[in-house]
Amino acid sequence: MKVVSLAEVKKTKNLILTIGCFDGLHLGHQKVIHAVISEARKKKGTGAILTFNRHPRSLTKNIQIPFLITPKEKFKLLDEWGLDLCILANFNQSFANLSAQAFCEEILKKRLGIREVVTSSSFRFGKDRTGDIELLKKQDISVKVIKLLKVKDEVVSSTLIRNLIKQAKLKEAVIFLGRDFSVLGKVIPGEKRGRVLGYPTANLKVVYPLNLPGGVYAVRAEVNGKEYNGLSNIGFRPTFNGSAEHPTMEVHLFNFAGDLYNQKIRIVFKKKIRNEIDFSKNKSLLLKQIRKDKEKAKKILATADTRRCHSEALAEESLFSKKYGIATSAQRVDSQ
């Protein structure tokens, strides 16, 4: 898949396009992306997405919206699924001020020369979200409308998933996301207190706001293509006078020996074990608690292993196997 900025993109013949932030690439997004790829193959065109370098509401509403996925991770998944082109727009004030009519004329028709837009029935665009599917049709743009996806009577949305993750409801989030929630981070130097305690930890720098509540989690870590079980702590380290303004994220990997500094590792969150505890008045209790946390995490992750084959089968469906497609989840999915 080719990734190109909107400023540099050239007109592409038979461009089949979808538009949006697509944060998380959840099951609802996957349904739309699959339709784009399918339409492009049928019409011998180019399947493409126009997406943004930031969440629109972070600018228009001036609020911080935690990403469910980094841009690089998004590009990787889209490429694996078979999309041809990703067009990345700089969502700045000038872009946000484009009227819906101007967006159609200047971006979709003049710059991209699109043949067809594939989108969900809730699609809105342009300044103040005044543009809709009917406006696209009035511009002589062909539109394929994909019904919103429902799972367990809930419309699948990034907002719903963010709210679940914010409450550490990770098992429920998987149902809508289609995979475990994970965070990609770079290992940076820490204070090495974990090593002194006999539980060395890797401190992670994450380039986007974390949406998870503080506490200790059972996790899996992906390091250089290998998986390790572990514990992760997100919080302010009150036991060691940590900052009250900047939460940290650290992970202890089971059965791992090696240097992780400057490496990028993915932390897959399976279940929250407990809230963060202040042991500053009795630090001797910290070591006992870590032992308890580790044993609990081992049990959680062992249980998760027994469900793995089934989870992988569901993941395969979400990657749009030609044989089954998304419709094979009919027992748990009810489309509007």
pLDDT band of 325, cuts 50, 70, 90: very low
Whether 334 has a pLDDT exceeding 50, the answer reads no
pLDDT, tens digit, for every residue of 107-157?
999 999 998 999 999 999 999 999 999 999 999 999 999 999 999 899 999
- Fold identical between 2-152 and 180-314? no
Query: Mind listing the pLDDT tens digit for each residue in 196-213?
Result: 677 888 899 877 777 889
CATH fold for domain 180-314: Elongation Factor Tu (Ef-tu); domain 3 (2.40.30)
3-state helix/strand/coil string of the chain:
CEEEECCCCCCCCCEEEEECCCCCCCHHHHHHHHHHHHHHHHCCCEEEEEEECCCHHHHHCCCCCCCCCCHHHHHHHHHHHCCCEEEEECCCHHHHCCCHHHHHHHHHHHHHCCCEEEEECCCCECHHHCECHHHHHHCCCEEEEECCCEECCEECCHHHHHHHHHCCCHHHHHHHHCCCCEEEEEEECCCCHHHHHCCCCEEEECCCCCCCCCEEEEEEEEECCEEEEEEEEEECCHHHCCCCCCCEEEEEECCCCCCCCCCEEEEEEEEEEECCCCCCCCCHHHHHHHHHHHHHHHHHHHHHHHCHHHHHHHHHHHCCCCCCCHHHHCCCECCC
Q: Spell out the domain ranges in the chain.
A: 2-152, 180-314
Architecture (CATH level 2) of domain 2-152? 3-Layer(aba) Sandwich (3.40)
pLDDT for 294 equals: 95
pTM for the model: 0.84
Q: Output the pLDDT for position 257.
A: 86
Average pLDDT of the chain, as a whole number: 86
Q: What pLDDT sits at residue 182?
A: 93
